[in-house]
A and B are shown apart, each in its own frame.
Chain A
Amino acid sequence: MEGSLLEPTLYVVKGMAILDNDGHRVLAKYYDKNIFPTAKEQKAFEKNLFNKTHRASAEIIMLDGLTCVYRSNVDLFFYVMGSSHENELILMTALNCLYDSVSAILRKNVEKRALFENLDIVMLAMDEICDGGIIMEADFNAVVQRVALRTDDIPLGEQTVAQVLQSAKEQLKWSLLK
């Protein structure tokens, strides 16, 4: 059983990823240079991971020597990876923080379209949760507060024509759906 005692270090997270419902990467970060050094290997791993996880909602899986915890909502899948001996609950805490932060940023509307509209803020949030493999913050309230969430809507004058059209379309859609 040697080797399964963990080296005391702050570097516990090996990677975080958000995938869409086709298994394509929305955002992903890997923090250990020794696993998946190239984008190709990373994407192959993500594909494999997605295939193994998108049907069952089992929340945890071992894959390629990594413990992966995951959560999904509508068309988004959230993953946090750690070494195979890592304390699963620590990874779970990081995952919950990631999910709850994204959920708060998107005002509970955890969907791919909404996420892409706020991609910048989500990027900042991921960065606030984990820096180079060290968990920076595990409380989603703190994360949301730190990513400078835009509270006010932009004045009409600064919007581009496309944006105006987009919001008009949205509104029309909603009124039709009602």
Chain B
Amino acid sequence: MAFKRDKKEEEDGGGNPFQNIEKTSVLQEARAFNDTSVNPRKCTHILTKVLYLLNQGEQLGTTEATEVFFAMTKLFQSKDVVLRRMVYLGIRELSSIAEDVIIVTSSLTKDMTGNEALYRAAAIRALCSITDVTMLQAIERYMKQAIVDKNAAVSSAALVSSLHLAKTSGELVKRWVNEAQEAFSSDNVMVQYHALGLMYHIRKTDRLAVIKLVTRLTKQSMKSPFAVCLLIRIACKLLEEDDSAPGTDSTLLSFIESCLRHKTELVIYEAAHAMVNLRRTTARELAPAVSVLQLFCSTSKPPLRFAAVRTLNQVAMSHPSAVTACNLDLENLITDSNRSIATLAITTLLKTGAESSVDRLMKQIASFVSEISDEFKIVVVQAIRALCTKFPRKHSVLMNFLSAMLRDEGGLDYKASIADTIITIIESNPEAKETGLAHLCEFIEDCEHTSLAVRILHLLGREGPRTKQPSRYIRFIYNRVILENAAVRGAAVAAMAQFGAQCPDLLENVQVLLARCQMDSDDEVRDRATYYHTILALKNRSLYNSYVTESLQVSIPALERSLHQYTLNVTDTPFDMKSVPLAAVEPLVSEIIPSKGVPEGTLLSTPAPQRLGVSKEESALETISNIPELAALLPQLGPIFRTSEPVELTEAETEYVVRCIKHCFARHIILQFECLNTLSDQLLENVRVALQPAEGYKVLREIACPRLPYNETSSAFSLLEFPEELTASTGTFGATLAYMIKDCDPATGLPDSDEGYDDTYMVEDIEVTLADQVQRVWKGNWGAAWEEAANLCELEDTYALTSMRNLQEATTNIVQFLGLQPADRSERVPEGKSSHTLYLAGIFRGGHDVLVRAKLALADGVTMQLTVRASDPDVAELVTSAVG
């Protein structure tokens, strides 16, 4: 019986004698520390248990920790080396939880200066973890001695502890720089490394000192490979900062390059990695780095192969041609037993390889894609996305591969990245649309992620009705209504309604399905079904357009806020939808090329910072509300209609930097001038921008910025009224910055005297354009909206755009110039076409709809026939005249 239990216990514990220990009993046992004669073996065992518990994540309360801590201090009387060392470790572990830990300062100081080398290093580290700024001064002398101690362990401990302390008492630690310098010449490699780390940390804010340090050290050879790596990183940092002195650059670069020939792999890789990641590296300078990485590709050490192929993958993104030389070595890695290495090798090859090798590589990767982690699968998906834009003809192979990946197991991020890629392909390649939609339909049949299913249903609703056979999608969508949760059912109902509105021959069937959905158990789904069913029953095309195919055009957070405000006031007037600012149209998903933010394939799994749900207009509103004079006027001005991108009014790197942001209201415009003073010996006061407004404009109010100290950004404002005559509303204003200068002390920023003098500074002219006065609006069905606007005012004109060389350039320029939203992806000109039609939509300030159709044809330059339909004749005239 006893034997049986013993065996069972052994299996349970798996040979872990610490398996079943409990906090309370251990704390009880810890009282043994107080015994008059210390039993080292027993006490070490108990202390180990305490530390083990802490390491397992057990939380100790303050009193518990303090109690153990004080009991532990009794163990200083023991001569047992291990026990004493465990005590030091215990002090460090408990120092953050227990109270009154400074009680052991004197014991530790004694050990730190004693003879026993094994105690000294540990005592220094323990002491530095319990000490604070005031106490530190008392032990400063010992610390300085310890840094330059002959014993490497003591010196390292002192240097590393100083670096930890520098976070809290930086000023004091700065005084130890000479000692660090002395320690740097030590024979021990780790001491050298730690000393360099401390020296750099102390000096890092002083650029000149760092340059001096680095140039001196690059000339001497250091023994420690770690220290060389650190030096490479410091050199890179200097090189990345733009304003480095011209002479040092070449020294630093040649130092990094010389490290490619270092004797340890650690340093060689660090140097190669640095060369690849330096922004300034040219393809020629890259060559030696690439060739060492190529050598690493064939080593037997997996981490080194991994490091090499990962860096090559990065190179492939910026300089694909530089990596082609390594293709053979990479080919050998695609069957590597470490799947991460294989994946990176394949994605690198996909980036550098020719169209012909795509099929083979895809087959290879398909053989093990199920074995790799999600992070790498995302890398693969990103590589495929890049391929699709590069080789549009390969879309069928890639699409098949993606759909196979969609069917596999995987997390939301992974699935979302596949869906994103398919959507991008659909949008950029009309040929791939039908197959892409079919794959997505299949995917939602068995998709456990609600958010993804909803997105795909929305996409089906938008794209499905315009395919050759819209009816085939209905079945997939209706299946969702039967099988899914409420959110998905709601999205499915909305998607079906799109088909009803846009495909007359399907209307009857859709109505039947919608009628069935009115029995749904969920409120929202029923509401949507009833809503769509009623509208579709009216058979009125213009109602379809405004209430089914077009989505809400106001900014949702702003609508929420307005409604909240509305409910706070008791009033009889109905809520006015027009008072809500319009939402600026986000750029299409496909336009966000992954060059911004996190570069693709760098394997950063931390997501890019989430875009805040605040539009430009709303942040502008906040800025303006903070200025009391303007905030008082806001009720008269109405909601902000549009805020333009900032325009630089000065050259970069001038004395004063001024940027202009235009906030457009229904009948007024606020110009916000963001000023930055870059002169450290000047304080500017009463800063304003004097305007010479264009004809018809009236300056109503100027608000100066009272104080503009060095290196601070502050804004001045001007409020203008638009001219009555709409056609006069585009114009150019002359502008001058006017201010009072007071000379001041660069160090303190305080003015030398109260006397100042007035001065002015010319800045560039400000243009108010058409684009500033219109808000982009997304039309899901532009054609229908155009038909509907047939009875509005229409103007037509023909222009010759001689400066444009091709249609794409012309299209991009027109979109930018008019500030309208292109619809139906007409901003993309298919390649090889000699004519193109661009569809644009927007709203002019004051709530006038504007629709523009631009027919472009390529002949010597580009000829454009522009048709404008607008609810206000003046607006139409303004648009046509703006182009000319």
Contact = CB atoms under 8 A, between A and B. Distances in A.
B278 A5 contact: yes
Given A10-B160, A59-B303, A89-B266, A116 B197 contact: no
Given A5-B278, A120-B44, A87 B270 contact: yes
Contacts of B270: 87, 89
A127 interface: yes
Contacts of B164: 131-132
Contact of A60 (B125, B160, B303): B303
Contacts of A21: 14
A91 B190 CA distance: 15
B266 A1 contact: no
A89 B264 CA distance: 10
A150 interface: yes
Contact of B47 (A22, A120, A146): A120
B20 to A, nearest CB: 13
A88 B204 CA distance: 25
B82 A121 contact: yes
A64 interface: yes
A85 B836 CA distance: 46
Contacts, number: 189
B266 A87 contact: yes
B304 interface: yes
Contacts of B606: 65
A54 interface: no
Query: Chain A CB within 10 Å — which of B44, B193, B204, B302 has the most?
Result: B302
B233 A7 contact: yes
Given A7-B237, A62-B376, A116-B18, A87 B307 contact: yes
Nearest to A28: B55
Given A1-B602, A58-B338, A134-B197, A119 B52 contact: yes
- Kindly state the interface size class of chain B when it binds its partner: 35 or more
A73 B25 CA distance: 33
B337 A10 contact: no
A125 B256 CA distance: 34
Nearest to B18: A116
Contacts of A88: 269, 303-304, 306-307
B277 interface: yes
A131 B125 contact: yes
B745 interface: no
A63 interface: yes
Contacts of B230: 8, 10
Contacts of A39: 56-57
A144 interface: no
Interface string A20-43: 111001011100000000111011
A120 B85 CA distance: 9
A150 B83 CA distance: 11
A102 interface: no
Query: Chain A CB within 10 Å — which of B201, B273, B304 has the most?
Result: B273
A84 B153 CA distance: 30
Interface in B1-47: 14-18, 39, 41-42, 44-45, 47
A110 interface: no
Contacts of A89: 265-266, 269-270, 303-304, 307
Contacts of B14: 20-22, 75, 112
A138 B264 CA distance: 14
Interface in B285-322: 301-304, 306-307, 314, 317-318
B738 interface: no
Contacts of B152: 142
Interface string A64-106: 1100010000010000000010011111110000000000000
Contact of B163 (A25, A28, A134, A137): A134
A134 B160 contact: yes
Contacts of B269: 87-89
A108 interface: no
A60 B85 contact: no
Contacts of B201: 9
Contacts of A123: 48, 51, 55, 86, 89
B599 A119 contact: no
A29 B240 CA distance: 33
B451 to A, nearest CB: 21
B277 A1 contact: yes
B41 A124 contact: no
A120 B118 CA distance: 16
A63 B41 contact: no
Given A62-B603, A135-B193, A138-B226, 5 more contacts: A22-B14, A42-B57, A60-B303, A131-B164, A135-B190
Interface of A: 1-2, 4-10, 20-22, 25, 27-29, 38-40, 42-43, 52, 56, 58-65, 69, 75, 84, 87-93, 112-113, 116-117, 119-121, 123-124, 127, 131-132, 134-139, 142, 146-148, 150, 154, 158-160
23 contacts: A1-B314, A4-B277, A5-B237, A5-B240, A8-B230, A43-B57, A56-B338, A58-B338, A59-B302, A62-B373, A64-B605, A65-B606, A87-B266, A89-B265, A89-B269, A90-B229, A112-B15, A116-B16, A123-B48, A131-B125, A134-B163, A136-B157, A160-B42
